[in-house]
Amino acid sequence: MNLKRPKAAIMAAIAIMGILSGCSSKKAPDGAVLTAYAVERGGKYTLTVKSVSENQTVEAYFAAAAVPKEALAALVGALGLSRQGDYTESSYSAFAAVKSYAEVVLKKSDAYQCEVDSAYRDLFSAVNSLEVTGGGTAVYFVDCGDHDPSTLSPGDSFGTDNSLTDMIYGADPVTGMMWGVVDPKDSYIPTGGSNRLQSKGVYTAWTWANENSPNEIADGQPKEATFRYARNQDNQGITPRRVEYKFELAPGLYDLKVCVGNYWGNSGSADIYANGEKINENTVSVPINENKLVESPIEISADEGSDIGSVLISVQSDDPTINLNYILISEKPPVSVDDLETLCLPKTEYALGEELDTRGLLLIAELSDGAVKLLTSQDCAFSGYDPLTEGVQTVEVTYKDKTVLYEVTVSAKTGGEQQFSQIKNNADLPVGRSATLCYPAL
Q: Is the pLDDT higher at 425 or at 123?
A: 123
pLDDT, mean over the chain: 80
DSSP string, 332-364: -----EEEEEEEE----EEETTPPP--TT-EEE
29 CB contacts (<8 Å, ≥6 apart)?
Answer: 8, 9, 10
CA distance 408 to 400: 23
The CATH number for 229's domain is 2.60.120
Domain count, the chain: 2
Looking at the structure, do residues 56 and 148 belong to the same domain, yes or no? no
- Is residue 343, in this structure, part of any structural domain at all? no
- Is residue 272, in this structure, part of any structural domain at all? yes
Residue 91 confidence class, pLDDT cut points 50, 70, 90: confident
Cα dist from 104 to 25, 109, 212, 266, whole Å? 31, 10, 51, 40
Q: Is 345's pLDDT higher than 60? A: yes
Could you tell me if 61 and 14 are in contact, meaning their C-beta atoms sit under 8 angstroms apart?
A: no
Q: Is 33's pLDDT higher than 80? A: no
Q: What is the average per-residue pLDDT within 27-49? A: 50
Looking at the structure, do residues 173 and 309 belong to the same domain, yes or no? yes
Residue 45 confidence class, pLDDT cut points 50, 70, 90: low
338-342, Cβ contacts within 8 angstroms, sequence gap of 24 or more: 338/366, 338/367, 338/368, 339/365, 339/366, 339/402, 340/364, 340/365, 340/366, 340/399, 340/402, 340/403, 340/404, 341/78, 341/365, 341/366, 341/404, 342/397, 342/404, 342/406
Helix axis angle for 69-78 and 89-107, nearest 10°, is 140
Looking at the structure, do residues 299 and 150 belong to the same domain, yes or no? yes
Could you tell me if 273 and 240 are in contact, meaning their C-beta atoms sit under 8 angstroms apart?
A: no
Q: Which of 62, 79, 83, 81 is nearest to 119 (CA)?
A: 79
pLDDT tens, residue by residue, 396-434: 999 999 999 999 999 986 544 444 444 433 334 444 444
- Is residue 378, in this structure, part of any structural domain at all? no
pLDDT at 8: 24
- Is residue 366, in this structure, part of any structural domain at all? no
Q: Is 317's pLDDT higher than 70? A: yes
Could you tell me if 3 and 48 are in contact, meaning their C-beta atoms sit under 8 angstroms apart?
A: no
- Enter the pTM of the model: 0.57
CA distance 5 to 12: 8
CA distance 14 to 61: 10
pLDDT at 84: 55
pLDDT at 412: 84
Could you tell me if 267 and 323 are in contact, meaning their C-beta atoms sit under 8 angstroms apart?
A: yes
pLDDT tens, residue by residue, 188-246: 876 655 566 667 889 999 999 998 777 778 888 999 999 999 999 999 889 999 999 99
Looking at the structure, do residues 61 and 142 belong to the same domain, yes or no? no
Residue 41 φ then ψ, to 5°: -130, 125
Of 302, 331, 360, which marks where a domain is finished?
331
Residue 54 confidence class, pLDDT cut points 50, 70, 90: low
Looking at the structure, do residues 154 and 30 belong to the same domain, yes or no? no
Of 310, 331, 352, which marks where a domain is finished?
331
For 173, the 3-state DSSP assignment is: coil
Domain residues for the domain of 235 are: 138-331
Looking at the structure, do residues 247 and 147 belong to the same domain, yes or no? yes
Q: Is 305's pLDDT higher than 80? A: yes
Q: Residues of the chain with pLDDT > 70: what percent?
A: 74
Question: Terminus-to-terminus CA distance in the chain, angstroms?
Answer: 24
pLDDT tens, residue by residue, 251-290: 999 999 999 999 999 999 999 999 999 999 899 999 999 9
- Is residue 393, in this structure, part of any structural domain at all? no
Q: What is the average per-residue pLDDT within 148-165? A: 93
- Is residue 361, in this structure, part of any structural domain at all? no
Looking at the structure, do residues 427 and 285 belong to the same domain, yes or no? no
